[in-house]
Amino acid sequence: MNGFLADWAGAVPVFAAPFLLATTGLIINERAGVMNLGAEGIMAMGAVSAVIAMLSGSGLVAAILCACAAAVAITLLFALLAVVLRLEQVLSGLVIFAFGVGLSGVLGDSYANQPIKALGPVAPRIFAGLPHWLGRILDQDPLTYFAFVLPVLVWWVLERTELGLRLRAVGEDAPAADAAGVNVMRMRIGAVLSGGLVLGLAGAHLSLVGSQVWVNGMVSGRGWIAVALVTFSRWNTLRAIGAALLFGAVQAVIPLILSSGLNVPIYLIQMLPYVATIVVLGASGIGRTSLSAQPEDLARPFLREERR
Amino acid sequence: MSAAAEARRAETARPASTIAVRMAGVRKAFGERIALDGADLTVVWGEVHALLGENGAGKSSLMNILAGFYGADDGVVEVAGQPAAFAEPRAASAAGIGMIHQHFKLVGPLTVLENLRLACGPRAGWRSRDAALVAMAGMAKDLGFTIKPDARVDQLSVSEQQKVEILKVLLGGARILIMDEPTAVLAESEAAAMLQLARRLADDGRAVILITHKLRDVSATADRVTVMRAGRTVIAGAPARDVTSAELARAMVGGETDILRRGTAGPGETVALELRALSTAGAEHDVPLREISLTLHSGEILGIAGLGGNGQSELLEAIIGLRTPTHGDILLHGEPASAFPAARREHGLRFVPADRFRLGLFGSLTLAENLAVPALSGRQPERRYWVTRAWMRGRARRSISDYEIAGGTADTQARLLSGGNAQKLILAREFEGAFSVLVVHSPARGLDVRAAAAVQNRLLAAAARGVGVLMISEDLDEVLALSSRVAVLSHGRLSAAVAIEQTDRAELGRLILEGA
Ligand SMILES: Nc1ncnc2c1ncn2[C@@H]1O[C@H](COP(=O)(O)OP(=O)(O)O)[C@@H](O)[C@H]1O
């Protein structure tokens, strides 16, 4: 049983990292008042680009950069629709979702199902002296480490710096921020693109660390779960760490149960993350205080001369 | 217009260096609607300049252009002698223009200090939170404000928020201050202090532009006055002491000066609405109602006086059924009122809320749609299965002409109406069909003289037809002018109602301040 728990504990950070990166990226978006429902599509683009780069002979760093570039490129399209042209954000997001998932399938067609050299743990020897299970948890690859550092960094920027103050102001009350001299459009575009970049990293993590192969449709709803996790973590990236660990734990248990030979229907087990999403969203609804953490101007386009 | 001609002569004689703002021939259209049709304004340093006009005259639009929020279609704008067409608010702030909007431009979920840092940080060169704190404390002390820097802005009262706006504008280094109806949201004593502050800021050498439609504010504070009507300037910078209130009123409303006379309705015998020891729970920002009892007769106007924030909204919401009482009963025509707002409406209850767009109108629906909503809901809708636009438009056109709703057709979105016209739209809708009890809250708040009179006359007419009108108002003049009986709401408690002849302003003032 100790073996089972250690395996599980060791796998949790890897499963949690994509959720954490994606949720952090989306929180950056939403704190600036932009709702990006295209996360799933953007992650798919990140995942496929990283694999294509690897199979084309680039190194790991280049592959990660490729994933970011592809994600930013498709996010730029979203920024154009939702922020510059001020189209309905929900609709723009759905368009990007469909486009991203579709395009990743087309681009990845000839690269599908070819294993790549994985991004592995950094330095197993450092953790040799620790208890087995703790060593398993701490011994991770660089991208996973980064996934757990980034939320802290983002939290610090949002809550403690001038830049964060301006970003939050834009998300809470764009006309007031405008009156205070903040360039609302620039701020929102900046937030959307940085968020997109982080979503690209989430995608790269999925293919480089997680599956180590490109399979069409492999993001399989994680982008959508991240959208829900934003609400669950109440727009706070530190809370997102906990939320992502919870979901990572649920996902990490699936392969273990499957391989343990327990006689449970496979579809029931694979349903776990989605059931967890529903439970968690329901729970966050029950415990809700009257002061909602949702940015007041979320998904509300801004035009200076418009009355509202 | 001899006053205007004189003023124009004085203008040309003034040395250019004393002129803070010069706007001439400014035009602005929003789509089809012309907001400004060649407006002029000249303001000199060191004066309080009143900008007067009816709702919709274009005062706010003109000032939004000066402060960089709107772009002018045409015309000259100069600040301190330099051409100044600001493309965005930031550029105007940098040029020393600070505007305090009627609806404050503060980020509610942020703290006071965060709001100040957001707006002034880069310009004031604050390196740290502490620097901002010191600057804020210094300025607040100088102006005599006490505001907690770490309080969330949306938890402050309206007058505190206004003070934050003033701090924001002054810390940002504004030399030209625009105050858009600063006294409209304040109680009488606070308003006087605010006007004194405006005076003091002007005496320090700044230029203060005071948008108002209260003639009293003009005579109390302003050095000069500019009057606008329908997007044009009709009196340009006349010395305030040289023009009489009557002249100003005539200039504001144009030819038709016959503001309708008010009267007082007499009470009938039957009881329309009764509250028995009504109490509500006090949630976070709400004032709990405490054992409120009142009796409203058919055909009377019962005035509820008191300062805002003493339970007014809570009382209205409890009566119309949006707030469940913890104790006590509400009787409509002698029967316990249903728990459902819709059922109360069918029982003859109508209401006009203070916040026209929160409980009153659907801002993004058209006038026709707004007017049709009640007719389509309820147990016996006017139309059950098939609703046509033509039908909605037809009945809307009738209401628009009956209620003289200007500034929109049946197909205009309701949010584009000015305050007075939005209020008339609510009245048009609520007065449709048969009703017997009307609850209104601050019916004339923010309205100009003529629109206020029109609304108040509708209330009197309703009472004359036998409707019981409960008028919750924060304006004592209004209560005294319209009510047949009056009670005072203070800290959620209601004093006993007395006939209007048996009380006076002093007595009510004491009750308002000290409670029953
Ligand atoms: N942002 C806007 N969009 C559309 N119409 C507007 C806007 N701002 C003002 N208007 C219209 O311009 C006219 C002048 O309004 P405003 O300047 O607010 O007048 P005032 O301040 O004198 O009450 C009104 O008819 C109003 O409906």
How many Cβ atoms are within 10 Å of B176's Cβ, its own excluded?
Answer: 23
Contact A181 B93 (CB under 8 A): yes
Looking at every residue in chain A, the average pLDDT score rounds to: 90
Helix (H, G, I), strand (E, B) or coil at B323: coil
Contact A177 B122 (CB under 8 A): no
Classify residue B36 by its DSSP letter: E
In sequence order, the 6+-apart residues with CB closer than 8 A to the CB of B308 are B158, B187, B442, B474
Tell me the pTM.
0.78
Contact B89 A181 (CB under 8 A): yes
CA–CA separation, B117 vs B100, rounded Å? 17
Query: Is the CB of residue A171 less than 8 Å from the CB of residue A195?
Result: no
Domain of residue A108: give its range: 2-114+124-293
Mean pLDDT, to the nearest integer, of B297-324? Answer: 90
CA B248 from centre of chain: 20
| Cα atoms found within 13 Å of the Cα of residue B414, Cβ hemisphere only | 24
Q: Can you give the pLDDT at residue B217? A: 82
Q: How confident is the model at residue B260 (pLDDT cuts 50, 70, 90)?
A: very low
Query: Chain B residue with minimal CA distance to A174?
Result: B107
Answer whether A176 touches B (CB < 8 Å): yes
CA–CA separation, B516 vs B511, rounded Å? 6
A136 lies in a domain? Answer: yes
Answer whether A298 touches B (CB < 8 Å): no
Residue B212 CB-density burial (10 A; 0-12 exposed, 13-18 middle, 19+ buried): buried
Nearest-CA neighbor of B159 among B137, B191, B136?
A: B191
Q: Can you give the pLDDT at residue A261? A: 75
Nearest-CA neighbor of A136 among A1, A254, A11?
A: A11
In chain A, residues with a C-beta closer than 8 Å to the C-beta of B122 are 162, 181
Q: How distant is the Cα of B82 from the closest Cα of chain A, in angstroms?
A: 21
Query: How many A from CA of B14 to the centre of ligand 1?
Result: 32
Classify residue B18 by its DSSP letter: G
Q: How many residue pairs bridge chain A and chain B with CB atoms within 8 Å of each other?
A: 71
Q: How distant is the Cα of A166 from the closest Cα of chain B, in angstroms?
A: 6
Residue B10 has pLDDT above 50, yes or no: no
Mean pLDDT, to the nearest integer, of A91-115? Answer: 95
Contact B117 A169 (CB under 8 A): no
Give per-residue pLDDT as tens, B312-342.
999 999 999 999 899 999 999 999 999 888 8
A277 lies in a domain? Answer: yes
Query: Chain B residue with minimal CA distance to A164?
Result: B118
Percent of chain B with pLDDT over 70: 92
In sequence order, the 6+-apart residues with CB closer than 8 A to the CB of B161 are B104, B106, B153
* Structural domains present in chain B: 3-96+175-253 (3.40.50.300), 104-173 (no CATH), 268-348+436-516 (3.40.50.300), 362-433 (no CATH)
A298 lies in a domain? Answer: no
Length of chain B: 516
The angle formed by the CA atoms of residues B99, B104 and B106, to the nearest 5 degrees, is 100
Please name the member of A162, A296, A304 whose beta carbon is closest to the beta carbon of B108. A296
Query: How many A from CA of B280 to the centre of ligand 1?
Result: 39
Contact B108 A181 (CB under 8 A): no
Query: How many A from CA of B76 to the centre of ligand 1?
Result: 20
Residues contacting ligand 1 via CB (< 6 Å): A 305, 307; B 30, 33, 35, 53, 55-61, 407, 416, 418
Please name the member of B101, B106, B117 whose beta carbon is closest to the beta carbon of A165. B117
Contact B30 A305 (CB under 8 A): yes
Query: Is the CB of residue B300 less than 8 Å from the CB of residue B267?
Result: yes
Strands B292-297 and B498-499: unpaired
| Structural domains of chain A, count | 1
Contacting A with CB below 8 Å, chain B residues are 30, 69-71, 88-90, 93, 99, 101, 104-110, 114-115, 117-119, 121-123, 168, 283-284, 363, 415-416
Classify residue A209 by its DSSP letter: I
More confident residue, A281 or B280: B280
Q: Which of B27, B30, B65, B412 to mutate to test the pocket of ligand 1 (most atoms within 8 A of CB)?
A: B30
In chain B, residues with a C-beta closer than 8 Å to the C-beta of A165 are 110, 114, 117-118
A211 lies in a domain? Answer: yes
Give per-residue pLDDT as tens, B32-64.
778 999 999 999 999 999 998 877 789 999 999
Residue B232 has pLDDT above 90, yes or no: yes
Query: Is the CB of residue B136 less than 8 Å from the CB of residue B167?
Result: yes
For residue B23, the surrounding DSSP H or E stretch is: strand B19-30
Number of H helices, E strands in chain A: 13, 0
In chain B, residues with a C-beta closer than 8 Å to the C-beta of A162 are 117, 121-122
CA–CA separation, B384 vs B382, rounded Å? 6
Length of chain A: 308
Mean pLDDT, to the nearest integer, of B246-256? Answer: 73
Q: Can you give the pLDDT at residue B264? A: 53
Contact B110 A296 (CB under 8 A): no
**Residue whose token pair is 């980064």:** A146
CA distances (Å), A162 to each of A71, A280, B116, B389, B431, in order?
27, 33, 12, 51, 52
Query: How many A from CA of A158 to the centre of ligand 1?
Result: 36
Query: Is the CB of residue B182 less than 8 Å from the CB of residue B100?
Result: yes
Query: How many A from CA of B28 to the centre of ligand 1?
Result: 10
Please name the member of B107, B122, B284 whose beta carbon is closest to the beta carbon of A177. B107
Please name the member of B89, B121, B123 whose beta carbon is closest to the beta carbon of A179. B89
Q: Which of B33, B357, B412 to mutate to test the pocket of ligand 1 (most atoms within 8 A of CB)?
A: B33
In sequence order, the 6+-apart residues with CB closer than 8 A to the CB of B403 are B424, B425, B427, B428, B458
DSSP sequence for B174-207: -SEEEEESTTTTS-HHHHHHHHHHHHHHHHTT-E
Give per-residue pLDDT as tens, A142-153.
999 999 999 999
Contact B119 A183 (CB under 8 A): no
A301 lies in a domain? Answer: no
CA–CA separation, A179 vs B104, rounded Å? 10
More confident residue, A279 or B14: A279
Q: How confident is the model at residue B268 (pLDDT cuts 50, 70, 90)?
A: low
A305 lies in a domain? Answer: no
Answer whether A163 touches B (CB < 8 Å): no
CA–CA separation, B272 vs B332, rounded Å? 6
Residue B515 has pLDDT above 70, yes or no: no
Lowest mean pLDDT among A83-87, A117-121, B376-380: B376-380
In chain B, residues with a C-beta closer than 8 Å to the C-beta of A305 are 30, 69-71
In chain A, residues with a C-beta closer than 8 Å to the C-beta of B30 are 305
A75 lies in a domain? Answer: yes
Contact A173 B416 (CB under 8 A): no
For residue A258, the surrounding DSSP H or E stretch is: helix A237-260
A233 lies in a domain? Answer: yes
Q: Which token pair is A277?
A: 């999403």
Query: Is the CB of residue A35 less than 8 Å from the CB of residue A206?
Result: no
In B322-467, where do the E strands start and end? 327-332, 335-336, 349-352, 437-441
Residue A216 has pLDDT above 90, yes or no: yes
Q: Can you give the pLDDT at residue A12? A: 93
Strands B485-490 and B327-332: unpaired
CATH of the domain at A53: 1.10.3470
Q: What is the CA radius of gyration of chain A?
A: 20
Give per-residue pLDDT as tens, A26-81.
999 999 999 999 999 999 999 999 999 999 998 999 999 999 999 999 999 999 99
CA A85 from centre of chain: 25
How many Cβ atoms are within 10 Å of A4's Cβ, its own excluded?
Answer: 12
For the CA of A307, the nearest atom of ligand 1: 1
Which residue is closest in CA terms to ligand 1's atom 18? B60
For the CA of B180, the nearest atom of ligand 1: 21
Looking at every residue in chain B, the average pLDDT score rounds to: 87
Query: How many A from CA of B176 to the centre of ligand 1?
Result: 22
Q: Can you give the pLDDT at residue B85? A: 87
**Residue whose token pair is 């980020």:** B107
For the CA of B228, the nearest atom of ligand 1: 22
Q: Can you give the pLDDT at residue B284? A: 60
Q: Can you give the pLDDT at residue A306? A: 79
Torsion sign (Cα): B119, B170, B14, B65: positive
Residue A244 has pLDDT above 50, yes or no: yes
